Chains A and B, each alone.
Chain A
Amino acid sequence: MHWNVHVQASAGAFTLDARLEGEAAPVVVIGPNGSGKTTLLRIIAGTCRPLSGRIRLGKRVLLDSEAGVSVPPEERRVGYVPQGYGLFPHLTVLDNVAFGLAAGPRRRPGPERRRIAAELLADVECAHLAPRYPATLSGGEKQRVALARALLPVPELLLLDEPLAALDVAARRGLRAYLARHLTKRTRPAVVVTHDARDVHALGSPVVYALEEGRVVQSGSAEHLANCPGTAFIAEFFEAEGAVWSERRAPGRMHRRSNAGGILSTGLSSPSAATPDT
């Protein structure tokens, strides 16, 4: 399924003008703090209104400012996992996960939605967490639960805001593999904001967007951005993990694995590495 986003927004002196598109594989957005990544995700989720723009998800138009269309967030079928995971502290893990079936057209009666939530929790290796409250979970456990909760209503696009940022190194390694496994297993279109180059590799994203001061300054494959960085930030981003990158790239392991998993679709219209918004 193809999706694309083109939005302009402004808040005070800050202007956001970004164009993104993708298919079934997760797309990665990188950028320094304050570059508008979170605002972009909120606009796609529908809780932040841009000045103008168009968001299309498969055949559905979620936003078309010219036509006066703006689908409310609850009808967009866009999942969102914020940076702090956004778990409801007053609900158990099971009820957090079942929350997506507690209202709206997908509403199910209590016992049924708990059963469905419990099945999904078991599927994502978190069955043992079901009766606990979020405050008692570790960061990695919170992220797993938040991901399960976002996946339960089967969103057509999943937004993850720095999913690994708050975790320590060991938890990060485990969860990175976990994320890659569950996102690709469900071939879920996703936008993953990250500031860690290793996430880009783990997710096997065909396209990376570099966002700076509200604009997409460069986009393309991770190799392309690593080899021909357009800005100092992009250079630093990939430089920090340069060793990992070349080491992994050399045997071409990532490519083979990605193709085997069907992530890199051959017909993918990979945006050029030029700056589209000038």
Chain B
Amino acid sequence: MLAAVPMLLILAVPLLALAGASSPGDIAAGARHPLFLPALWLSARTTLISLAVMVLAGTPLAWWMASRPGRRSRIVESLVDLPIVVPPAVMGIALLETFGRNGLFGPALSSLGVQIPFTTAAVVAAQIVVSAPFYVQAAATAFRRVDEDLLIVARTLGHSPASAFFRVAVPLALPGMVAGAALAWARALGEFGATLLFAGNLPGTTQTMPLAIYTALESDARVAVALSLVLVGASALLLFPLRTLPTLIGRRFGLASGAGGPPGRGLPRA
């Protein structure tokens, strides 16, 4: 029991220190700072776009990974995992090598008059590359837990593969998908390294909250703390569905354990 305390302290104390660092007046002053609102607005916009792209493009990939066991899907799974283990700064360089002026698609893009690096699009790209694996893996895990027999039964009851997917697989995998989406969104909201290298730190265009914190720290620590507290609040809001949704859904269906919820979360008996 005592051995559990150090890690708990390591995790909790910095956040408590942050919460206690500033008075409400400081926070209000920080929120009025010219850096604050543009960064908040940019972060909200870009992460919502990233989230939409991750869910729309990531769900089919997750379904494919879950429904096709075998060597090919294991290779794909490793590819999806790669951005999780590769440092974000490296992903930033990789994006520059892909979309930069001298990158893979650079000449083609500049002949079309399109520039991606150091634009808002680059912010979105950096967030997607770094966060999508969290969603795809969580959704694939949730899909894998859907009993194959349920999909077979749905087909024999006259449902097309698409109908079986939307009426059976998605509802049952939803808690896991929502948890994965929340995790990916939180990761996108905190994206720093890849954004800095690929999108830069231009106020209003590419300066998201984490970059604004970095900038503010050089001039006014109060702004950095205010921005940080807003991020903590947003993250706590994201954690809420992550922890409660599988339980709520499980209870609704009278299940002893959540169907397709995140692993290792035992649910109270209904």
Contacts and interface: CB of A to CB of B under 8 A. Distances in A.
Interface of A: 42, 45-47, 72-76, 78-84, 86, 88-90, 99-107, 132-136, 149-150, 153, 155
Interface in B79-136: none
Contacts of A134: 253
B266 interface: no
Secondary structure at the A interface, as helix, strand, loop or mixed, is loop
B157 interface: yes
A38 to B, nearest CB: 9
B152 A84 contact: no
A135 B253 contact: yes
Contacts of A80: 152-153, 156
A45 B156 contact: yes
Contact of A135 (B151, B163, B254): B254
A82 B154 CA distance: 11
A103 B149 CA distance: 18
Given A89-B253, A135-B253, A106 B152 contact: no
Contacts of A83: 149
Nearest to B170: A90
B172 interface: yes
A46 B155 contact: yes
18 contacts: A74-B159, A80-B152, A81-B153, A82-B152, A83-B149, A84-B149, A86-B153, A88-B153, A88-B172, A89-B253, A90-B253, A99-B159, A99-B167, A106-B158, A132-B254, A135-B256, A150-B153, A150-B157
Nearest to B256: A135
B147 interface: yes
B152 A89 contact: no
Interface string B149-184: 111111111111001000110011000000000000
B75 interface: no
B21 to A, nearest CB: 45
Given A86-B153, A88-B168, A89-B172, A104 B147 contact: no
Contact of B157 (A42, A100, A136): A100
Give the one of B160, B172, B253, B259 with max A CB within 10 A. B253
B255 interface: yes
A104 B160 contact: yes
A153 B168 CA distance: 18
A90 B156 contact: no
Contacts of B151: 47
Contact of B147 (A84, A106, A136): A84
Secondary structure call for the B interface: helix
Nearest to A152: B157
Nearest to B157: A100
Nearest to A90: B171
Query: Among the interface residues A73, A132, A135, A136, which one has the most CB atoms of the partner chain B within 10 A?
Result: A73
A37 to B, nearest CB: 14
Given A86-B147, A86-B153, A104 B159 contact: yes
B152 A86 contact: yes
Nearest to A79: B156
Interface in B220-261: 252-256, 259
Nearest to A161: B149
B147 A73 contact: no
A73 B156 contact: yes
Nearest to A159: B156
A173 to B, nearest CB: 25
A15 B15 CA distance: 61
A191 to B, nearest CB: 13
A133 B254 contact: yes
Given A84-B149, A99-B159, A155-B156, 16 more contacts: A47-B151, A73-B156, A82-B152, A88-B150, A88-B154, A89-B253, A90-B171, A90-B253, A103-B157, A104-B158, A104-B160, A105-B158, A107-B158, A135-B255, A135-B256, A149-B153
